[in-house]
Amino acid sequence: MNVLIVDDEPLARERLGRMVSALEGYRVVEPSASNGEEALALVESLRPDVVLLDIRMPGLDGLQAAARLCEREAPPAVIFCTAHDEFAVEAFQVSAVGYLVKPVRPEHLEDALKKAERLNRVQLAALTRPAAESGVGPRSHISARTRKGIELIPLDHVIYFIADHKYVTLRHEGGEVLLDEPLKALEDEFGDRFVRIHRNALVARERIERLQRTPLGHFQLYLKGLNGDALVVSRRHVAGVRKLMNHI
């Protein structure tokens, strides 16, 4: 894959270039770009597969350049590499496939480049934006900010959502991440695939395995993928869970 690097700092361009060149299957195209205008011109002439794009640059910034790239019929994949972590939402609104915070680590860059190969570039905004924002149907992926940058978790891999104060924990097949989204909004968007079992918990319907009453009279729900762990079902939701299980 051919990679174009866009950053107004020469040292940052050089560092990213070395990391990309060290990865098998990726090649840095020359010349690199120092601002959004140069990036658009080079994308037109060099046709890179991926653009590593800084955000804050003089003139046309990274977000503006990415928005212009989205208008193309076959745009390159965009991975933002920035010192600022507050632009993640805006980044996915312009179909970015990755969001890496400087100093970029080689393993995180490699992960983002691999995702750029797998994901459909044109459809990513619809995949990662809540339905209320995108104007389309529910997302097929959930975006979460982690130490790696921004991770995309397929909805099919999600086991449950549990609210705890201002954050929601998303448990998936590969571990856990924190979301800054209200549980109610997730329920509204994904209510056909997740069921509420407690005032603070939604679980994937297809993951439900069995409902069990404890000797103390509490109800516990066992889910596929939790290795024997169980979640508490509140009494007000027991009847609904039982009814659902009769139709699974």
CATH T-level assignment (fold) for domain 2-128: Rossmann fold (3.40.50)
Q: Is 178 exposed, middle or buried (CB count within 10 Å of its CB: 0-12, 13-18, 19+)?
A: middle
In this prediction, residue 123 carries a pLDDT of: 44
Across-strand partners of 144?
151
Q: pLDDT-derived band of residue 64, with 50, 70 and 90 as boundaries?
A: very high
The tokens describing 105, both together, are 């680590």
Is pTM beyond 0.85? Reply is no
pLDDT, tens digit, 9 for 90 and up, residues 72-113: 777 888 999 988 777 766 666 666 788 899 999 999 999 999
pLDDT, tens digit, 9 for 90 and up, residues 183-223: 999 999 999 999 999 999 999 999 999 999 999 899 999 99
Q: Do domains 2-128 and 151-245 have the same CATH topology?
A: no
List alpha helices for 22-137, DSSP H.
36-46, 62-70, 88-93, 106-118, 124-128, 131-134
In this prediction, residue 85 carries a pLDDT of: 74
- Classify domain 151-245 by CATH number: 2.40.50.1020
Across-strand partners of 176?
171
Report whether pLDDT(141) > 90. Answer: no
pLDDT, tens digit, 9 for 90 and up, residues 144-179: 877 766 677 889 999 999 998 789 999 999 899 999
Q: Is 143 exposed, middle or buried (CB count within 10 Å of its CB: 0-12, 13-18, 19+)?
A: buried
Domain limits, the chain: 2-128, 151-245
Q: pLDDT-derived band of residue 129, with 50, 70 and 90 as boundaries?
A: low
In percent, the amount of the chain with pLDDT more than 70 equals: 86
C-alpha span between 222 and 237 (Å, rounded): 15
